[in-house]
Amino acid sequence: MKIKTGIGFDAHRFVEGRKLILGGIEIPYDMGLLGHSDADVLIHAIIDSLVGPALGRDIGNLFPDNDMKYKDIDSRILLKESVSLIRKAGFEISNVDATIIAEKPKMKPFIPEMRSMLADVMDIEIDDITIKATTTEKMGFTGRGEGIAAIAVSTIIKSFRQP
């Protein structure tokens, strides 16, 4: 058995005129995040934490932001494809632990729905995904309310079973 751990990070700035999508759900807010896809920083961080150790690649290699096929795409589709790729490589997800870094909006009310959505998309138990939220106490771009960041750590396992 081989156990690998990966880390992922993503950040996007706020803009008017877009929906705020985090963890695959829409969060009521007067701004959304700017990005080529739906700019779901949480899912993007999770993808990097999974495909890094399994495939030696990152989200930008798999889903380039200069490919119009991915313009405004739902990041849940990207996550589902990423999970499929790591499973084809022989890995299973043990757990995902993620943190959203945002001054506003408050994330706590939305975390249970995010966990449920992500567990469903990744086809893992809800207890195998943890999502936390924090602020930076008004410091930096997230603290000034200019955007949102997320970080994720995942553990994946590859079995070496004999036929």
Annotated binding site for a divalent metal cation: 10, 12, 44
Residue 18 is given by DSSP the state S
Quick one: tokens of 89?
């490589």
Bridge-based pairing of strands 32-33 and 147-158 is: unpaired
Asked if 39 and 74 touch (Cβ cutoff 8 Å), the reply is no
Which residues, 6+ apart, have CB-to-CB distance to 44 below 8 Å? Answer: 8, 10, 37, 59, 75, 78, 150
Residue 121: phi and psi, rounded to 5, are -65, -40
Q: List the binding residues.
A: 10-12, 36-37, 44, 58-60, 63-67, 134-137, 141, 144
Which residues, 6+ apart, have CB-to-CB distance to 31 below 8 Å? Answer: 14, 15, 16, 18, 20
Asked if 106 and 137 touch (Cβ cutoff 8 Å), the reply is no
